[in-house]
């Protein structure tokens, strides 16, 4: 793999030592994200290790739909290149900032939808013993196929089977857990804290520990995080969301839920909100109101069921790397850009057209590229509608939809088109349409009563009629309904020889045994079990009676023999009670003395350290020694200066004597000037020495 295999486009992000470019793989035209790191020129050893650790984590961690996919990595021109899956719509931070600026918070169903996908990615990492350690909106990306993906594993940490916590303080302060800030060891629950901060921010569009106006310094921020001080969520959100945020933002890591529990709560909440939306749409349709969005939900509910019958997970999602289709994705304008919706709709319609066409595969797939412009998308929509018009009835009836409506990828017309195409695809796959046949309630009651009467007649013939037979009548629930289906069902005829059936049953019989508590069975089945096993149990009880009598007599003799031993044991226990109490009191007193001794030893050691410190301070005479050395030096310099002054004075007197003998004006002036200059030089030299 080399850089020549990619068409590198503009830079879309920059870091301290790396740059992320948008690129296209020449081999198949796939758009990717290309991260370039100057790993050998500008990075120090620590940063280089972090980058290489990220590559290693990406290579060893199995792929997941909620994690940015690692494609390849290579080194070229002394730079490291990492190829990632392309996330067309940027990161979650930009989306939240835009929503905050426009004053449009996310609905709770959107919050759960985002959060559940993120939890799936983090749970996948934890299952493979990998911590993310830097979960925040900037590291969560929005793909073009309506999927939220977790990325940037640069601070990730892989744990071995013997490692249970980490110590390094890494991450982003707003999302760091208290144990990370305090420098304590931390483990998987630290990611749970970061996810709790993220869930709070999805609901309120701001971090739980960030004040309005960004006035907090790091000290104030760390204090808030360490004490868990944050504003409560608005009352508009459900009790489940508020309680989950509060549980995940516990300062004690052991009090936080684990990742599996968080994922279960989020999944259940998302399913509940989707059911509520579907029910609201159905209620709106039942009331006769023309709520187009509600009609879309009803139609898409049926479309999703039919897509599952067509096994679209295998035929479309895995082949085209798409996530499961959300229920309300094509119902109306959603939070996702229309471009992403049209990309998904185009691929879905191409697949359904392939299933309904007698010619099989077609060339429509390659027409729409991931970065197609609006004009190209409209052209692709028109081409697709032309192909739909040639498909024949009833699909051709939707060819008049228009490219602009198809390009919008939302609305009742689009949902009806999908419904029609899934119907035709099911018919082409051999599915038959028919109304369900339901047996009348009167016939069911007559059938059950007939079976009960037949059982009663059989029991009367055997002479085993008892009070239990009265329980075989219908169970009265107050509304005339029956509590359970009949016990005996009609047999089905089989073309397999009985011998082969017997051999197969003997082979798989041990694997198919199911142990069910008798309390969970219906009362009819329990009565049947009692009737089946009661005669055998009664016969076995009669046969076992003599043996039980012998065992009782032997137990009675043994108890008589053991009675003196039990009395002796009680006497010994009573006699040893007082010494035991004294021993316990002595041990408690000894433990108290040991604690006092440890306290005295600690106080003694502390006093000894303080005395040593004081002694070191008192015995430190280095300053006195330095002053004495400086004094001796000054005395020597003074003696030397006095000696030089005497020599100069003597020389000056001798020169004056010579001048008195034969003075010459010019010479005298010259000598006197030279002598004064020499005297001045000597005096200045003496001053310098001083």
Known catalytic residues are 134
Give residues with Cβ within 8 angstroms of 574, minimum separation 6: none
> 407: buried, middle or exposed (CB in 10 Å: 19+, 13-18, 0-12)?
buried
Angle between helical axes of 189-204 and 259-286 (0-180°, round to 10): 30
The Cα 92–Cα 202 span in angstroms is 9
- Helix or strand holding residue 470 (H, E): none
215 marked among binding-site residues: no
The Cα 39–Cα 46 span in angstroms is 11
Q: How far is CA 255 from CA 68, 78, 187, 189, 250, in A?
A: 31, 48, 13, 9, 6
* Residues written for the chain: 690
The Cα 210–Cα 189 span in angstroms is 21
Residue 542 three-state SS: helix
Residue written as token pair 């799936």: 120
Q: How far is CA 106 from CA 100, 200, 232, 234, 255, in A?
A: 10, 12, 17, 13, 29
CA dihedral defined by 272, 277, 281, 282, rounded to 10 degrees? 0
Residue 425 and residue 355 in contact, taking contact as beta carbons nearer than 8 Å: yes
Name the phi and psi angles at 273, rounded to 5: -70, -35
The closest alpha carbon to 652, from 671, 639, 670, 667, belongs to 671
The Cα 157–Cα 186 span in angstroms is 12
- Helix or strand holding residue 213 (H, E): none
**276-283: long-range contacts at Cβ-Cβ below 8 A with a sequence spacing of 24 or more?**
277/109, 277/327, 277/328, 278/327
> 585: buried, middle or exposed (CB in 10 Å: 19+, 13-18, 0-12)?
exposed
The Cα 95–Cα 101 span in angstroms is 10
Q: Which two tokens stand for residue 447?
A: 């059938």
Half-sphere exposure of 382 (CA within 13 A, CB side): 7
Residue 560 three-state SS: helix
DSSP assignments along 252-269, one per residue: SGGGS--HHHHHHHHHHH
User: Could you give the residue ranges of the DSSP H alpha helices within 292-440?
Assistant: 292-309, 312, 318-320, 338-356, 374-389, 403-408, 412-428
Give residues with Cβ within 8 angstroms of 409, minimum separation 6: 330, 338, 341, 342, 344, 345
Strands 140-142 and 130-131 turn out to be: unpaired
The Cα 10–Cα 27 span in angstroms is 20
Assign 3-class secondary structure to 107-162: CHHHHHHHHHHHHHHHHHHHHCCEECCCCCHHHEEECCCCCEEECCCCCCEECCCC
Find the farthest-apart pair of alpha carbons in the chain and give their distance in angstroms, rounded. Answer: 178
Known binding-site residues for ATP equal 35
User: Which residues make up each annotated binding site?
Assistant: 35
């Amino acid at each position: 793999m080399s850089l020549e295999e990619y068409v590198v486009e503009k830079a879309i992000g920059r870091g301290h030592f790396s740059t992320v470019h948008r690129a296209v793989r020449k081999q198949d035209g796939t758009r990717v994200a290309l991260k370039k790191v100057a790993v050998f020129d500008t990075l120090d050893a620590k940063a280089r290790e972090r980058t290489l650790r990220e590559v290693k984590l990406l290579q060893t961690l199995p792929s997941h739909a909620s994690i940015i996919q690692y494609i390849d990595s290579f080194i070229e021109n002394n730079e490291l290149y990492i190829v990632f899956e392309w996330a067309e719509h940027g990161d979650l931070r930009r989306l939240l900032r835009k929503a905050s600026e426009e004053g449009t918070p996310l609905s709770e169903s959107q919050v759960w939808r985002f959060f559940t996908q993120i939890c799936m990615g983090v749970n996948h990492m934890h299952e493979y013993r990998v911590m993310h350690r830097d979960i925040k909106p900037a590291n969560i990306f929005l793909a073009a196929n309506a999927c939220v993906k977790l990325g940037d594993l640069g601070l990730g940490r892989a744990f071995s089977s013997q490692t249970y916590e980490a110590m390094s303080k890494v991450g982003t302060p707003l999302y760091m857990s208290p144990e990370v800030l305090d420098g304590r060891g931390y483990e998987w629950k630290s990611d749970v804290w970061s996810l709790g901060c993220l869930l709070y921010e999805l609901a309120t569009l701001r971090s739980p520990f960030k004040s309005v106006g960004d006035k907090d310094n790091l000290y104030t921020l760390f204090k808030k995080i360490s004490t868990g001080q944050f504003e409560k969520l608005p009352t508009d959100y459900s009790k489940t969301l508020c309680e989950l945020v509060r549980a995940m933002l516990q300062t004690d890591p052991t009090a936080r839920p684990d990742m599996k529990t968080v994922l279960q709560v989020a999944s259940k909440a998302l399913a509940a909100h989707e059911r509520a939306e579907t029910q609201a749409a159905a209620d709106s349709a039942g009331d006769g109101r023309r709520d187009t969005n509600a009609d879309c939900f009803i139609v898409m509910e049926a479309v999703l069921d039919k897509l599952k019958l067509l096994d679209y997970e295998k035929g479309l999602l895995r082949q085209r790397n798409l996530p499961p289709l959300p229920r309300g994705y094509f119902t109306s304008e959603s939070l996702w850009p229309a471009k992403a919706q049209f990309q998904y709709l185009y691929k879905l319609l191409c697949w359904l057209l392939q299933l309904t066409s007698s010619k099989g595969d077609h060339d429509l797939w390659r027409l729409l590229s991931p970065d197609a412009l609006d004009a190209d998308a409209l052209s692709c929509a028109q081409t697709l509608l032309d192909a739909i018009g040639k498909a024949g009835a009833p699909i051709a009836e939707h060819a008049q939809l228009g490219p602009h409506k198809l390009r919008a990828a939302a609305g009742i017309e689009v949902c009806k088109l999908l419904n029609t195409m899934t119907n035709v695809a099911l018919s082409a796959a051999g599915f038959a349409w028919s109304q369900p046949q339901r047996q009348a309630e009167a016939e069911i009651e007559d059938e059950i009563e007939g079976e009960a009467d037949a059982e009663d007649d059989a029991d009367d013939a055997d002479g085993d009629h008892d009070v239990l037979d009265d329980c075989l009548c219908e169970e009265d629930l107050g509304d005339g309904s029956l509590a359970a289906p009949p016990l005996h069902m009609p047999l089905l005829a089989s073309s397999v020889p009985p011998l082969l059936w017997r051999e197969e049953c003997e082979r798989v019989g041990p694997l198919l045994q199911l142990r069910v508590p008798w309390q969970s069975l219906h009362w009819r089945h329990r009565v049947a079990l009692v009737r089946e096993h009661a005669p055998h149990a009664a016969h076995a009880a009669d046969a076992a009676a003599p043996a039980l009598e012998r065992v009782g007599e032997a137990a009675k003799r043994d108890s008589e023999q053991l009675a003196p031993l039990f009395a002796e044991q009680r006497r010994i226990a009573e006699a040893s009670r007082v010494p035991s109490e004294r021993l316990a009191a002595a041990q408690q007193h000894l433990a108290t003395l040991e604690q006092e001794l440890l306290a005295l030893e600690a106080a003694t050691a502390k006093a000894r350290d303080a005395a040593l410190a004081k002694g070191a301070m008192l015995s430190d005479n280095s300053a006195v020694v330095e002053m004495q050395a400086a004094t001796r030096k000054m005395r020597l310099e003074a003696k030397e200066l006095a000696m030089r002054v005497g020599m100069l004075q003597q020389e000056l007197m001798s020169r004056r004597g010579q001048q008195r003998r034969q003075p010459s004006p010019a010479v005298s002036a010259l000598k006197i000037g030279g002598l004064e200059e020499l005297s001045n030089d000597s005096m200045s030299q003496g001053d310098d020495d001083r």
